[in-house]
Amino acid sequence: MAAIELSSLHHKILPLFRVERLTVVASRSVSIPPIEYPAELPITAHRQSLLQLVAEHRVIIVCGETGSGKSTQLPKILLESGLGRRGMIGHTQPRRLAARSIAARIAEELGTTGDSRVGYKIRFGDQTSSETLIKLMTDGILLAETQSDRDLRDYDALIIDEAHERSLNIDFLLGYLLRVIERRPEFRLIITSATIDAQRFAEHFSIQGNPAPIVMVEGRGYPVDIRYLPWTDVNRDAEDEDDNYDLGQHVIAGIDNVCRSGGGDVLVFLPTERDIREVSHQTAGHFKRLGLATRVDVLPLYARLPQAEQQRIFHPTGDRRRIVFATNVAESSLTVPGIRYVVDAGTARISRYSPRSRVQRLPIEAVSRASCDQRAGRCGRVAPGICVRLYSQEDYENREAFTTPEIRRTNLASVILQTLTLRLGSIDQFPLIDPPRPDAIRQGYRTLRELGAVDDHDQLTDIGRRLGRMPVDPRVGRMILAADEFGVLPEVLVIAAAIEVQDPRERPQDKRQAADEAHEKFQHPRSDFLSFLKLWRFYQQQRESVSHSKLDRICRGNFLSPQRMREWCDVYRQLREMVVQSPPWLPEQKSAPGRAQRRQVGAPRFSENEDEVIDAGRYTTIHQALLTGLLSGVALAGDKNEYTGAGGLKLFLWPGSGVFAAKPKWIVAGELVETTRQYARTVAAVQPEWIEPLAEHLVKKSYSDPHWSNKSGGAFCYQQVSLFGLPIVTRRRLALSPLDPATARQLMIDEGLANDEMPTTARSVRFNRQLVALIAELAAKTRRREYVIDPYNIRNFYASRLPDFVCDRVRLEKYDK
DNA sequence: GTTAGGGTT
């Protein structure tokens, strides 16, 4: 009966749906603006051939350097080809800023500024609607959409831009999209890359053995003259590149080299913030000695630099020659305008996850040839440029062609969790361009087991399913689930958001002391996690009482980045909203459809005691919740400043930590990072006894020193409980009989019964004792010592008579009845 | 005694 009703309903709905769909397509077609292409962009010359390729191929690879116009013109070409009617033309960017600004440029070119026909969607901003034809978004947003739109049917076509960056998101999407292509013949995909690794992409997207076509679009850049200036050319006495090496001198030689070629701004690539500080200082001294101090501006540039100082680079004033000292941030994330010369030290800090030690390493390494070329390309945008490489041509030619993709350098827990929650099968079956190493996959599963996200058979658990749907790192997700259970969500949500965003505390190189003094009032002596809460309390109090602009001023006065504080608030609000709404959040059995599950999450419960921030009782619970996500971050203090972490790892406290001075015996660390040393950052003092109930699935138990107690009438032993080799419980005295009844029985017989020392009410034992005593008395009187029943005989007697389960006094007395 | 850079339902 129900089936008939359903099917008749089905017939009524389906035609309606089709009509509506046609109406949507028609109205979207009408709304398409006239399309024109700027003649000066190189990609415009490829329009005809691209249109033809789109008609014939499901996937196209477009290789184009900066300035080729690919990012702005490709969506228009897809729109002209007839796509974008049934679904949108999606276009992904690695960064939010780029997604927004490219959307604005396309809208301007199409004359749609002011409506949402060209829209964008990023984490905290959705500017799209049902009329959106072209949708810019971060690749993370598209990845998130796969959870609710499996075949990505919202889109007629997708452009994955900057694929050469090979971030985790991009690699995952490229694997995912291969399957979408297989299921949707009408769907179109364009992959763009700024480097010449196109062949890999083309082969990945082979259809029936035919690789995807590649279109090469020339850039609009000017030629760049490459010069090689290895250290042995600067310091002629040096026998090799390491001999007496001085990075400052080397860089100055490079700057002098390009300065002799004429006026223009210089961009210097260096690996670390510290190098930027030291080398820019040396360079300033160099120009001062030459009497040219007033002719140059020395400017640092790195991601952590306060916004105001970054602005000096993007809004130049005066006519001095600017020398910008930058990290990798200037290679792809930020474009420094007007650069004529590049000096490239050829190195960068590269993150590499060490699965064995669970530490994120940040070694300084030689960058790939692709990266060297990208850096050189930064000076050919306004006029012919010169790039001086502080290494030899031979060195360049021997380098890796491309930077190792992130998927080969990171903890895979989150990627594996996604393949499991999206039911994509096992990760080694998933079509990734660069499959991760098997041991990296194993360690990824190990992390998931640590979190209880998978069981011993690597099957997704209820916790895993919930973590997979949360927009945070699985460790942070785990803390949030525990916080809900333990009743400390208000505090842990603030802390979780803080862990997810970049640290808002700024420490400008020339005002480090002032910054440290300003931050001191936020430091909690036992927990850096509670320092976040102190900072939060301060910010929220100010926010309630002062204007926006005043709030920003207060932030800067306290060396806090206003932008990052806002990001923190945004992430906090998103997490709170997630918790308040039921579906991804509650355990599956509870999220019955139709049941309203609106919950309340209030503000953190602050203590009356300003410095403590949180009452002592809640300290325990909050840190227990944090521990559920950070069990492999537990460490024990050792000699001097050393700590021992999971698996015997040697660690040092981060010197900027609020607990640095206290050096607590047991800590939990939010991060383990190896730079100059292996550091535990974002640390809190914990009690080892908090850990055991949270780590039942991970701890190992061992027992020692079995011994007998006449007083208790039972055998005991000492238990040691260890977590990743750390003794969280030592010498816990336990009754032996439940653990090892045979040994307990033996001890009872040997020590309690054979020596007649155990007090007992057991009648047979008392009778035997009286009998033994009587015989002993008679033997003494008659001087017949051979009749004495010695302990050896008593032991043998009980050993042969007592059943196996009689292993302590209580059981003995019960058996006796 | 002090970290390269991005991103998320």
Give residues 560-579 of chain A lying near strand B (Cβ < 7 A): 574
Locus of tokens 């029943």: A789
- Among A450, A483, A383, which Cα is nearest to A633's? A450
Asked if residue A650 is part of any domain, the answer here is: yes
Mean pLDDT, to the nearest integer, of A785-814? 92
- As beta bridge partners, residue A556 has none
Phi, psi angles (nearest 5°) of residue A670: -75, -30
pLDDT at position A37 is 95
* Protein CA at A733 to nucleotide C1' at B7, angstroms: 50
Residues A787, A797 within the same domain: yes
Give the nucleotide nearest to A661 (CA→C1'): B1
3-state secondary structure of A389: strand
A457 belongs to a structural domain: no
Contact indicator for A124, A104 with CB cutoff of 8 Å: no
Provide the residue type at A419 as one letter: T
Strand bridging mode A634-637 / A385-389: unpaired
- In this predicted structure, what is the pLDDT of residue A425? 82
- Residue A21 pLDDT level (bands cut at 50, 70, 90): low
Work out if A357's Cβ lies within 7 angstroms of strand B: no
User: Would residue A202 count as lying in a domain?
Assistant: yes
The model's pLDDT over A45-60, given as tens digits with 9 standing for 90+, comes to: 999 999 999 999 999 9
Is position A159 within any domain? yes
Residues 68-127 of A with CB under 7 A from strand B: 94-97, 122-123
Q: Say how many domains are in chain A.
A: 6
Q: Write out the two tokens for A758.
A: 């155990």
Q: Is the CB of A625 under 7 A from strand B?
A: no
User: Nearest to residue A474, comparing CAs of A584, A629, A632?
Assistant: A629
pLDDT in tens, A121-168: 999 999 999 999 999 999 999 999 998 899 999 999 999 999 999 999
In this prediction, residue A5 has a pLDDT band, given cuts at 50, 70 and 90, of: very low
Taking residues A25-42, report their average pLDDT: 88
Same domain, A612 and A663: no
One domain, residues A486 and A510: yes
What does the CA dihedral A459, A463, A468, A473 come to, rounded to 10 degrees? -120
Q: In this predicted structure, what is the pLDDT of residue A582?
A: 56
By C-alpha to C1' distance, B5 is nearest to A329
Q: Which of A168-177, A446-455, A576-585 has the lowest mean pLDDT?
A: A576-585
CA pair distance A384, A429, nearest whole angstrom: 47
> Could you say which of A369, A384, A404 is where a domain stops?
A404
CA atoms of A21 and A2, how far apart (whole Å): 28
A65 in contact with nucleic chain B (CB within 7 A): no
How do residues A714-738 score in pLDDT, each as one tens digit?
999 999 999 999 999 999 999 999 9
Scanning residues 250 through 279 of protein chain A, those with a beta carbon under 7 Å from any atom of strand B turn out to be 271-274
pLDDT in tens, A580-624: 875 445 555 454 454 455 678 889 999 988 888 999 989 999 999
Nearest nucleotide from residue A676 CA, by C1' atom: B2
Q: Which one of A217, A235, A254 terminates a domain?
A: A217
* A212 and A117 part of one domain: yes
Same domain? A24 vs A39: no
Span A524-547, pLDDT tens digits: 999 999 999 999 999 999 999 999
The mean of the pLDDT values for chain A is 90
Q: How far is the CA of A659 from the C1' of B2 (A)?
A: 14
Nucleotides of B under 7 A from a protein CB: 1-9
> What confidence score (pLDDT) does residue A269 get?
96
Confidence band of A788 (pLDDT split at 50, 70, 90): confident
- Closest residue, CA to C1' of B7: A140
Position A15 scores a pLDDT of 42
Q: Is A362 within 7 A of strand B by CB distance?
A: yes
Q: What pLDDT, on a 0 to 100 scale, did the predictor assign at position A19?
A: 54
Confidence of residue A315 (pLDDT cuts 50, 70, 90): confident
Are A205 and A339 found together in one domain?
no
Predicted confidence band at A6 (pLDDT cuts at 50, 70, 90)? Answer: very low
CA atoms within 13 A on the CB side of A534: 22
Q: Could you write out the DSSP letters of every residue in A765-802?
A: HHHHHHHHHHHHHHHHHHT-GGG---HHHHHHHHHHHS
Distances in Å between the Cα of A219 and the Cα atoms of A92, A116, A369, A807 are 21, 30, 18, 85
Judge whether A446 lies within some domain: no
CATH number at residue A195: 3.40.50.300
pLDDT of residue A303: 87
Whether A778 CB is under 7 Å from strand B: no
Same domain, A690 and A736: no
Q: Is the CB of A504 under 7 A from strand B?
A: no
Is A403 (CB) below 7 Å from strand B?
A: no
Residue nearest to nucleotide B8 (CA to C1'): A471
* A348 CA: nearest nucleotide by C1': B4
- Using C1' positions and the CA of A143, the closest nucleotide is B8
3-state helix, strand, coil in chain A (%, to 5): 45, 20, 35
Cβ A675 to strand B below 7 Å: yes
The nt closest to A303 (CA vs C1′) is B5
Q: Would you say residue A238 has pLDDT above 60?
A: yes
In this structure, the answer to whether residues A84 and A194 fall within a common structural domain is yes
Is A412 inside a domain boundary?
no
Instruction: Output the pLDDT for position A7.
Output: 40
**A205: in domain:** yes
* pLDDT level of residue A16 (50, 70, 90 thresholds): very low
**In whole angstroms, what separates CA A416 from the centre of its chain?**
13
Q: Is residue A548 part of a domain?
A: yes
A528 touches strand B (CB under 7 A): no
Q: What is the pLDDT of residue A697?
A: 95
**Does A606 lie in the same domain as A564?**
yes
Residues forming beta bridges with residue A702, ordered by sequence position = A720
Nucleotide nearest A584, CA–C1', reads B9
Residue A556 has pLDDT above 70, yes or no: yes
Longest dimension (CA), chain A: 129
A410 touches strand B (CB under 7 A): no
Both A485 and A507 in one domain: the answer is: yes
Cβ pair A720, A672 in contact under 8 A: no
Q: What local confidence, expressed as pLDDT, does residue A17 receive? A: 44
Does the pLDDT at position A398 exceed 60? yes
Provide the pLDDT for residue A108: 95
Domain edge (last residue) among A628, A650, A680: A628
Domain that holds residue A711: 701-816
Instruction: State mean pLDDT over A502-521.
Output: 90
**Residue A420 CB closer than 7 angstroms to strand B?**
no
Type of residue at A466: R
Q: How far: A152 CA to B8 C1' (Å)?
A: 17
Q: Would the Cβ of A331 be found within 7 angstroms of any atom in strand B?
A: no
Task: Say whether pLDDT at A9 is over 70.
Answer: no
On whether both A337 and A394 belong to a single domain, the answer is yes
Interatomic CA–C1' length for residue A207 and nucleotide B7, angstroms: 30
Distance from CA(A430) to C1'(B5), angstroms, rounded:
27
Residues A324 and A301: beta-carbon distance below 8 Å: yes
Q: Which residues lie below 8 Å from residue A443, measured CB to CB, with a gap of 6+?
A: A355, A356, A358, A411, A412
Closest nucleotide relative to residue A350's CA, C1' based: B4
C-beta contacts of A326-329 below 8 A and 24+ residues apart = A326/A267, A326/A268, A326/A269, A326/A270, A326/A276, A326/A300, A326/A301, A326/A302, A327/A269, A327/A270, A327/A271, A327/A272, A327/A273, A327/A276, A327/A301, A327/A302, A327/A303, A328/A269, A329/A301, A329/A302, A329/A303
Residues A375 and A273 in one domain: yes
